Amino acid sequence: MSTSCSILSGGLPGYILVAFLLFIVGLGTVLVRRSILVQFMGVELMLNAANVALLAFARFRGGDAQGTVFYLFIIAVAACEAAVGLALVVGLYRHRNSTDTDRADALKL
Amino acid sequence: MQKVAWLIPILPLLGSAFHGLLGRKLGKGAVTVVALGCMLASLVLAAFAFTAVAAAPGRRLDLVCAEWIGVGTLRVPFGLVFDSLSSVMALVITGIGTLIHLYSVGYMWEEEGYARYFCYLNLFVFFMLTLVLGSSLPLLFVGWEGVGLCSYLLIGYYFDTEVACSAGLKAFLYNRVGDLGMTMGMMALFAAFGTLTVGGILTQAGRLAPEAGFGVLTFATLMMFVGATGKSAQIPLYLWLPDAMAGPTPVSALIHAATMVTAGIYLICRLAPLFLLTPITLTVVAWVGGTTALFAAVIGLFQRDIKKVLAYSTVSQLGYMFLGLGSAGFAAGFLHLFTHAWFKALLFLGAGSVITGMHHQQDLFRMGGLRAKMPVTFWTMVIATLCIMGFPGTSGFFSKDEILFLAFQKSPVLYAMGLVGAACTAFYMWRLMALAFWGEPRDAHAYEHAHESPATMTAPLVVLAVGALLAGLLGLPKIWGGSFAIEGWLEPALSFGRQGAAQVAEPGGPALAWGLMALSTTVALVAGFTGFRLYRNGPAGEEAFQGRHPGLYRLLSNKFYVDELVEACLLAPARWGGHCLWKACDVILIDGIGVNLPGALTRVGGDLAAQVQTGRVRNYALSMAIGAVLLLWIFLR
């Protein structure tokens, strides 16, 4: 009872739950969808789930800078990663004429 | 003398190294000069050594350089021994060797592997001299194996032909069988005497009582004789020698007639006091020798290849030598070795001259009428033929008659075998001469181009012919007014200080000697004349004989099917056994269970594991996620 209360009452577990759900959704997207663009969005969701968790911990530790700095770093890294990733997406499309990752399975025995 | 005596064997070795390393670069002229030069130098030194031995007390010079093997009680020096026996052998080897080197210059001049040939030939002389001069049985054995190796190399000189390769291999393998006997004999002698130097063994043997010869000594001498049968081509190990004719003809003359094949006789002469202590071995030697003398002579009757006739003749003559040794006539056996070296080398070289003259035609039935075309070859071969048939006054007459006389003392049956063998010898030799030199030319084309050989080839023939005529004077028997000089000369080496050991009792007196001599001479002359008459006008008589007795003729011309018998009884089972081992052990056990089974298991495992690799990103991501969850569960549990 108290657990569900604390989740809904804006405590730390609530944020962690949101972050967890966000991560699961991202993971599910990567695993279930075949379009590389959508899988890419799933990856972004997972990154942002981590961001949410970082910010929540930072706030509940007393507002120290560590978590916030990490969040900023991740935003920056994610931006770079998006640039590289999208370039790969374009490259894949040029080779295969599709964005279906299941068709890009040449790398096997 | 002591200082330079080492050079006698070393010079040919240096020559061999020169030909092998530089011969091809420097050309045939340099090879010829070096080959003949070191042979001549060796010959001169051997002659000096001979005179030194004659002057030395006990006609014996021991040269010890250093200790070669020193393990426990086994002490083997690195030394040479010059005594009356080995110094004569050294002279024969270097003397006839020089002549055959000279002949080879003419015979091999056109050949591709001129330097290789002389490399082998000089190496052979080195090993043969090591065999003869080595002061201990191990050193003798080194030479013994070395000459076998050179024989193998030279038989297989034309290595691009299958015949030559398999003949070389055959010679090597037959010799290995004999060598095993020789090794066992050496071990037995070491066990009995505790030393392996010839001098040491014979000194100790000299102190033994005559009854001491049974047991280990008989075993040792019998094993030594097994070695001798291998090297000297006696029954049952004679089969390699006829095949060895695949080598160049001068090689047949030097190795397979004059020197190497007499190593067995030399070995027994070297250990003569030991063999005198073992009458059983001597009897075996005599009977094996007598049987071989007869058997090989009979095979020689109907051979068509000129070199095969001479090869069987060599086997037969070696049999005579063993017959002499076995009858305790070591000097007589050695005398026959000496005379045979001259006239058989001459016969082979003459045959080589005929073969080159006829453009490598070896079939007697394709020759004929060469008398006028090749006068020098013809006359020298007539002399050699007279020698080998035992024409009165020639060298073969004295040596063979001495052997037959001794064989008669041993057993009249042995004498009869020798007599029939002598008749066959005279027959096949005159058959060969008549087919080659008389009658109509049967191969008109080859006859037209036939020519006398160059001087480098005919000069050795003439020298050898003179030697063949005179060699018998060393053994002029007492009834001819001589003193059987060779026995007196060899006495110190043969008896080795054992008084009267090498003295052969001569019962029967001169009347018996004259009678036997007259009988064998008459038989040989009649047989020789018959052979000449029958074949004078070509091989028609032989074809008629073939028509009348097809079975007998086939048996003889196929050499009694001994090769086929060996093939069926020994080689085929061995090959079958090898095949079974190959299939069972090699293919199933080693290849299958040992190598291919683990390989197959690895491959199946790999194939199974490869199923995981789908190449799809989502599958990898899923397994990564599962892995991450598992790790979390493990660490946070």
What's residue B1's pLDDT? 67
Give B-chain residues touching A106 at CB under 8 angstroms. 615
Q: Does residue B36 sit within a domain?
A: yes
Q: Is residue B626 a part of any domain in this protein?
A: no
pLDDT in tens, B572-596: 999 999 999 999 999 999 999 999 9
Is A65 part of the contact surface with chain B (CB cutoff 8 Å)? no
Nearest CA in chain A to B615: A105
**Which residues of chain B are within 8 Å of residue A37 when distances are taken between CB atoms?**
none
Q: What share of chain A is helix, strand, coil (3-state, %, to 5)?
A: 80, 0, 15
Return d(Cα B335, Cα B341) in angstroms, integer: 10
Looking at the complex, does the CB of residue A62 fall below 8 Å from at least one CB of chain B?
A: no
**Residues 6 or more apart in contact with residue B57 via CB below 8 angstroms:** none
Locate the chain B residue with the closest alpha carbon to A29: B618
In this structure, are B104 and B179 located in the same domain?
Answer: no
CATH code linked to domain A2-99: 1.10.287.3510
Q: Model ipTM?
A: 0.83
- Do B83 and B191 sit in the same domain of this protein? no
Tens digits of per-residue pLDDT, B401-448? Answer: 889 999 998 899 999 999 999 999 999 999 999 999 988 888 888 888
Q: Rounded to whole angstroms, how far apart are CA atoms B227 and B222?
A: 9
Nearest-Cα distance to chain A for B597, in Å, is: 23
Q: What six digits make up the tokens of B144?
A: 């013994």
Between B350 and B492, the higher pLDDT residue: B350
B578 with B546, same domain: the answer is no
Q: Averaged over B33-39, what is the pLDDT?
A: 94
Q: Which residues of A touch B612 (CB under 8 A)?
A: none
Residue A51 is predicted with a pLDDT of 93
For the segment B311-369, what is each residue's pLDDT rounded down to a tens digit?
999 999 999 999 999 998 899 999 999 999 999 999 999 999 999 888 888 888 888 88
| pLDDT over threshold 60, residue B503 | no
Asked if A102 has any chain B CB less than 8 Å from its own CB, the reply is yes
Residue of chain B whose alpha carbon sits nearest to that of A109: B610
| Total tally of structural domains belonging to chain B | 3
Instruction: Assess whether pLDDT exceeds 90 at residue A13.
Output: no
Q: Is A30's CB within 8 Å of B621's CB?
A: yes
Does any domain span residue B175? yes
Return the minimum-mean-pLDDT range out of B3-17, B202-216, B536-550: B202-216
pLDDT digits (tens, 9 = 90+) for B119-148: 999 999 999 999 999 999 999 999 999 999
* Chain A residues with CB-CB distance to B614 below 8 A: 105, 108
**3-state DSSP of B36-50:** HHHHHHHHHHHHHHH
Q: In this structure, are B237 and B299 located in the same domain?
A: yes
Of B610, B615, B621, the CB nearest to A106: B615
Which residues in A lie closer than 8 A to residue B625 (C-beta atoms)?
A: 27, 31
Q: What is the tens place of the pLDDT at every residue in B230-240?
A: 999 998 899 99
How much is the pLDDT for B498?
61
Q: A27: nearest CA in chain B?
A: B625
Contact of A99 with chain B, judged by CB distance below 8 Å, is answered with: no
A30 in contact with chain B, both atoms CB, cutoff 8 A? yes
Tell me, yes or no, whether B582 and B480 share the same domain: no
B618 to A34: CB separation less than 8 angstroms, yes or no = yes
Q: How far is B161 from chain A (nearest CA, A)?
A: 52
The confidence score (pLDDT) of residue B632 equals: 93
Lowest mean pLDDT: which of A89-98, B212-221, B350-359?
A: B212-221
Nearest Cβ partner of A105 from B616, B622, B625? B616
Q: What is the pLDDT of residue B502?
A: 44
- At residue A105, the pLDDT reads 81
Domain boundary among B557, B579, B614: B557
Whether residue B463 is found in the same domain as residue B545: yes
Q: What is the 3-state secondary structure (H, E, C) of B283-322?
A: HHHHHHHHHHHHHHHHHHCCCCEHHHHHHHHHHHHHHHHH
pLDDT digits 0-9 by tens, B246-299: 999 999 999 999 999 999 999 999 998 888 888 889 999 999 999 999 999 999
Work out the angle at residue B300's Cα, subtended by the Cα atoms of residues B260 and B264, and round it to the nearest 5 degrees. Answer: 20
Between CA B182 and CA B191, with CA B188 as vertex, the angle to 5 degrees is 145
pLDDT tens figures, B56-85:
888 888 888 888 888 888 889 888 999 899
The reply to whether B310 and B286 lie within a common domain is yes
Residue B563's CB is within 10 A of a number of other CB atoms, namely 15
Residues of A in contact with B617 (CB under 8 A): 39, 101, 104
* Domain termination site, one of B107, B135, B163: B135
B61 with B43, same domain: the answer is yes
- Of B615, B622, B625, nearest to A108 by CB-CB distance is B615
pLDDT at residue A1, as a whole number: 41
Cβ pairs A/B, distance under 8 A: 29
| Choice between B368 and B183, residue whose per-residue pLDDT is larger | B183
B277 and B318 within one domain = yes
The rounded distance, in Å, linking the Cα atoms of A49 and B452 is: 111
- Chain B positions with Cβ closer than 8 Å to A: 610, 613-618, 621-622, 625
Question: Is-contact B494 B269, C-beta < 8 A?
Answer: yes
Please tell me the predicted confidence (pLDDT) of residue A95.
87
Q: Are B34 and B19 in contact (CB under 8 A)?
A: yes
Residue B212: predicted pLDDT? 64
Strands (E), B569-610: none
How deeply is B616 buried, as exposed, middle or buried, from its count of CB atoms within 10 A (0-12, 13-18, 19+)?
middle
B33 lies in the same domain as B156? no
Interface contact flag, B618 A31, Cβ < 8 Å = yes
Q: Which residues of A touch B624 (CB under 8 A)?
A: none
Q: How confident is the model at residue A76 (pLDDT cuts 50, 70, 90)?
A: very high
Q: Evaluate whether residue B635 is within a structural domain.
A: no
High-pLDDT (> 90) share of chain B, %? 59
Structural domain boundaries, residue B235: 136-557
Q: Report d(CA B175, CA B261) in Å as an integer.
A: 11
Whether residues B614 and A109 touch (CB distance < 8 A) is answered with: no
Neighbours of B372 (CB within 10 A): 9
- CA distances (Å), origin A78, targets A73, A82, B404, B567: 8, 6, 115, 86
Greater confidence (B93 vs B484) lies with: B93
